Amino acid sequence: MSVMPEEMAERTARFKELNYSVEGYLDTRIPEHKRNTYNVIGRGVTEDTNLKPAITDAQDFNITYIGADPGCGAALHDHPTVEVFIAMTGKWAVIWGDQGEYETIIDQFDVVSVPPGVMRGFRNEGDEHGFIMAILGGSDSGHVDWASNVVDQAEKTGLRLNEDGSISEITPA
């Protein structure tokens, strides 16, 4: 099989050209969970329907980059696939357990693989803005299930989760 340069160009993601979302997930208005989400390959479990992946052909896996300031990261959540975290820059805490009772610290290029259905989150433990990569299994990785306290906190910021797994503004009554 031969792939022409123009076809390979559609399968190439250049970081400086990636779009990102500051509200890629339900929890991103909660101060300690602010972060930028970059869909590199596939949509993964991103809840912002406006964030399109750089490479749309996700066959059996999705890759997302997340950038966050110190102390920030994702709230406790799970989904029906394996999620692999790779620290790209800095130091990160990967948190897991129903209440987030466990954590491990990873440095640049360290890897943690979290099994399906396990509550997990992550936090930038470094002193500057850092990046972590998340790799999700499956061509369709399903939707995020958030810890109930995260859903409640997000609603207070004006965001809610729709039945299709996307986020939207809560319309005042």
- For the question of whether the overall pTM of this predicted structure is more than 0.85, the answer is yes
DSSP assignment of 30-41 equals SGGG--EEEEEE
- The one-digit pLDDT tens for each residue of the chain (173 residues) are 899 999 999 999 999 999 999 999 999 999 999 999 999 999 989 999 999 999 999 899 999 999 999 999 999 999 899 999 999 999 999 999 999 999 999 999 999 999 999 999 999 999 999 999 999 988 788 888 999 899 999 999 999 989 888 999 987 66
Helix/strand/coil for 80: coil
Domains of the chain: 17-157 (2.60.120.10)
Residue 76 to residues 2, 52, 73, 96, Cα–Cα distance (Å): 43, 24, 10, 7
Contact 45, 136 (CB under 8 A): yes
Contact 92, 130 (CB under 8 A): yes
Q: Work out the angle at residue 96's Cα, subtended by the Cα atoms of residues 91 and 101, and round it to the nearest 5 degrees.
A: 100
* Cβ neighbours of residue 139 closer than 8 Å, sequence gap 6 or more: 42, 58, 59, 60
Q: Which two tokens stand for residue 54?
A: 């750089």
Is the C-alpha dihedral spanning 102, 134, 17, 15 positive or negative? Answer: positive
- In the chain, the amino acid numbered 108 is Q
